[in-house]
Structure 1
Amino acid sequence: MEIHYSTKEDIDEIFRLYRIATDFQKAKFIVHWPEFERSMIETEINEKRQWKIVIDNRIACIWAITFNDPQIWEQRNDDPAVYIHRIATNPEFRGQNLVQQITEWAKQYALTNKKKFIRMDTVGNNPGLIAYYIKNGFDFLGLYKLENTEGLPAHYHNATVSLFQIELIDR
């Protein structure tokens, strides 16, 4: 298993994994991801904020990061944090606890970049997903109604989000 930046050559596979994840969300939940803008993913790749886990020369999982997320985290955005977004796992690699691998990677990445927190959000109240992220080391901070969703992807509009974080202790 290796973790690398995603590249422009990965874009078709990234969108395939997003479609699979969205179809799964549609089957299980009320809220699901919209179709993301290609330019958004290209920007993340160019800014080295789109990541992938590669197993046997195949993309097993993808996610994006940012160091700022003010519309979701509001006043907490002032804290030094890495924000993880849009984890999508290739179905052929499910069950390999890739979120735990991302979590361990994020701890090192955050410390290297002098960040104190690793944060994530999910839209809605999904008890199974909340339990899963807690199992992977995140603290569940609760449900919050977003105040300003202008410019955010459509699934955040009129949404309540579940917020999660890991507070890092310098080693």
Structure 2
Amino acid sequence: MHISNSTTADIAEIFRLYESATAFQKTRYTLHWPKFESSLVETEINENRQWKITIDGKTACVWATTFDDPQIWEEKNADPSVYIHRIATNPEFKGQNMVAQIVAWAKEYAKANGKTYVRLDTVGPNEGLINHYTKMGFEFLGLYDLKNTDELPAHYHGNPVSLFELLVK
């Protein structure tokens, strides 16, 4: 297993994994990811904020990070944090607990970058994800109605978000 930044050569695979994750979400939930703009992923790649886990030469999982997430975290954005977005696991690697690998990596990444928290969110009251993230060590902070979602992807508009944080020790 190897964690590294995604490159422009990974864009097609990233979107394939997003489409796979969205298809899965549609089978279980009323809220699901919209189609993301390629410019979003291209910017993350250019800023070294798009990541991947590779196993035996295959992309097992992708996600994005940022150190600034004011529209979702509002006043809590002032806390030094790493924010994780859009975790998408390759179906070939389901059940291999990629989130645990990401969490272990994110704790070290946060420490190396002088951050106090690892944070993530999910749209809506998704009990499965709430249970999964709390088992990974995150504290579930509750459901919040965001004040301004203008610059956020469509699935955030008019929907509450579940917020999670993990104190880096």
**TM-score between the two structures when normalised by the length of structure 2:** 0.99
Shift of 1:39: 0.5
Match of 2:69 in 1: 69
Match of 1:43 in 2: 43
Match of 1:53 in 2: 53
Amino acid of the structure 2 residue aligned with 1:144: Y
Aligned residue for 2:32, secondary structure, equals coil
C-alpha distance in 1, partners of 2:165/2:153?
Answer: 21
Match of 1:5 in 2: 5
Match of 1:133 in 2: 133
C-alpha distance in 1, partners of 2:161/2:136?
Answer: 19
Which runs of structure 1 show a deviation greater than 4 angstroms over 4 or more consecutive aligned residues? none
Aligned residue for 2:122, secondary structure, equals strand
C-alpha distance in 1, partners of 2:107/2:93?
Answer: 22
Amino acid of the structure 2 residue aligned with 1:162: S
Match of 1:143 in 2: 143
Give RMSD over aligned pairs: 0.5
Match of 1:25 in 2: 25
C-alpha distance in 2, partners of 1:136/1:168?
Answer: 13
Shift of 1:159: 1.0
Shift of 1:168: 1.3
Aligned residue for 1:146, secondary structure, equals coil
Match of 1:123 in 2: 123
C-alpha distance in 2, partners of 1:76/1:57?
Answer: 38
C-alpha distance in 1, partners of 2:27/2:97?
Answer: 22
Match of 1:101 in 2: 101
Q: Percent identity, please.
A: 63
Shift of 1:27: 1.1
C-alpha distance in 1, partners of 2:84/2:95?
Answer: 20
What do residues 1-53 of structure 1 show as CA deviations (whole Å, max 9, x unaligned)? 00000000000000000000001111110110000000110000000000000
* 1:81 and 2:81 matched: yes
Match of 1:168 in 2: 168
Aligned residue for 1:119, secondary structure, equals strand
C-alpha distance in 2, partners of 1:120/1:48?
Answer: 18
C-alpha distance in 1, partners of 2:71/2:65?
Answer: 15
